[in-house]
C-alpha cells in the first residue's frame, strides 16, 4: 500500500515537472490516473513538505525543492559554488568553515574547510547532525515555509546531544523566530561540548537552500564578541554564494 502511494507521488511530481505555470487539479488527476480526491490529498501533503505550491485558481506547480534534491546528490556542484568563498572565510577567520543542507530531518555536511589549528571539531563530508541543535540546521529551518517548518517540529526527532541541548519545543520555536529576525544562528555546546558554531543561511532563486557555518572551540572565544567578530564576514560569504547559485539557475533556465 505504501509503495503504491509512493508511485502516485512520483507520478504527480513528473506531471508537474516543466510546467512553471502550474497544472490544474482536474488535469493532474487525469494525467496520473487518480481520483480527484486522491490527487488533492497527495498534493496537499506535497505542499506541506514544500515540493509543490498552490498557484491559486486551482493550479499547482513544482517548487525548487525537487531540483535541490537532485543538486544535493551532486556534491561537486555545491562544492564548486561554495569552495572559493569558504576558503576565503577559512583564511580570514582561521577557523573551520562548513557547508550543510537539510535532508529530511538531518543536516548533512557537503563540504568542510578545516582549521589548521590542533584543537578543532572533527567534521567530514556526509556526516550528519540533528537539525534543531546545530547552527546550520537553525539557519535553514528558520527560513523554511511555515508548513514545512511545522512538519519538522512535529515529526523530527529532537535529540539531546549534550546537557546544554535545547529540546523543549516552545523554546526551539523562540530560537527559530529569533534566528529569522537576526539572520544568523549561534549555538554553544549544544551539539558537542566545547564547540561553538555560527550558522548563516544561503538562498537560491526559490528560497532557503543551504547554510554555511563557522565552528570554533569555545575556549578560543571566551573573551571575544563573536557576533561582531565573525557574523558580518559569514553573512557576506553566504550572500556571495547565494548570488552565484541564483546566477547559475538563471543561466540554466
Check pLDDT > 90 for residue 166. Answer: yes
Max alpha carbon distance in the chain (Å)? 64
In the prediction, which pLDDT does 3 show? 59
In the prediction, which pLDDT does 48 show? 81
Check pLDDT > 90 for residue 167. Answer: yes
Check pLDDT > 50 for residue 1. Answer: no
Q: What is the pTM of this model?
A: 0.77
In this structure, what is the dihedral angle of CA atoms 138, 151, 157, 109, given to the nearest 10 degrees? -40
Give me the residue spans of the domains in the chain.
2-62, 70-252
Q: pLDDT, tens digit, for every residue of 52-70?
A: 888 877 788 888 777 666 6
CATH class in words for 2-62: mainly alpha
Q: Please, what's the b/e burial string for 127-151 (b: 16 or more CB within 10 A of its CB; e: otherwise)?
A: eebbbbbbbbbbbbbbbbbeebbeb
Query: In degrees rounded to 5, what are phi and psi of residue 51?
Result: -90, -20
Query: How large is the average pLDDT for residues 190-203?
Result: 95
Q: pLDDT, tens digit, for every residue of 96-137?
A: 999 999 987 899 999 999 998 877 777 767 789 999 999 999
The band of 74, judged by pLDDT with boundaries at 50, 70 and 90, is: low
Task: Look at residues 136, 90, 85 and name the one whose alpha carbon lies nearest to residue 240.
Answer: 85
The band of 25, judged by pLDDT with boundaries at 50, 70 and 90, is: confident
Identify which has the larger pLDDT, 60 or 235: 235
Query: Exposed/middle/buried for 85, CB within 10 Å: 0-12, 13-18, 19+?
Result: buried
- Determine the Cα–Cα distance for residues 124 and 20; give it in Å rounded to an integer: 37
Domains 2-62 and 70-252 share a fold: no
Check pLDDT > 60 for residue 22. Answer: yes
CATH, range 70-252: 3.30.450.40
In the prediction, which pLDDT does 173 show? 97
Amino acid at each position: 500500500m505504501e509503495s503504491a502511494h509512493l508511485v502516485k507521488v512520483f507520478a504527480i511530481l513528473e506531471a508537474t515537472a516543466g510546467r512553471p505555470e502550474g497544472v490544474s487539479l482536474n488535469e493532474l488527476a487525469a494525467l496520473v490516473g487518480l481520483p480527484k480526491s486522491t490527487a488533492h490529498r497527495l498534493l496537499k501533503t506535497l505542499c506541506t513538505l514544500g515540493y509543490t505550491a498552490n498557484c491559486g485558481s486551482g493550479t499547482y506547480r513544482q517548487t525548487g525543492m525537487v531540483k535541490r534534491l537532485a543538486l544535493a546528490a551532486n556534491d561537486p556542484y555545491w562544492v564548486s559554488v561554495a569552495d572559493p568563498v569558504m576558503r576565503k572565510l577559512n583564511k580570514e577567520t582561521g577557523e573551520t568553515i562548513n557547508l550543510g543542507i537539510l535532508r529530511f530531518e538531518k543536516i548533512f555536511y557537503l563540504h568542510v574547510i578545516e582549521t589548521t589549528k590542533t584543537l578543532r571539531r572533527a567534521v567530514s563530508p556526509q556526516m550528519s547532525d540533528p537539525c534543531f541543535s546545530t547552527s546550520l540546521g537553525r539557519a535553514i529551518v528558520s527560513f523554511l515555509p511555515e508548513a514545512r517548518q511545522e512538519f519538522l517540529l512535529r515529526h523530527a526527532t529532537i535529540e539531546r546531544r549534550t546537557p546544554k541541548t535545547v529540546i523543549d519545543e516552545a523554546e526551539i520555536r523562540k530560537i527559530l523566530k529569533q534566528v529569522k529576525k537576526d539572520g544568523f544562528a549561534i549555538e554553544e555546546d549544544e551539539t558537542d561540548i566545547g564547540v561553538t558554531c555560527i550558522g548563516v543561511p544561503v538562498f537560491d532563486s526559490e528560497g532557503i537552500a543551504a547554510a554555511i557555518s563557522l565552528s570554533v572551540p569555545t575556549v578560543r572565544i571566551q573573551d571575544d564578541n563573536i557576533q561582531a567578530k565573525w557574523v558580518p564576514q559569514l553573512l557576506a560569504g553566504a550572500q556571495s554564494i547565494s548570488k552565484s547559485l541564483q546566477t547559475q539557475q538563471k543561466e540554466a533556465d
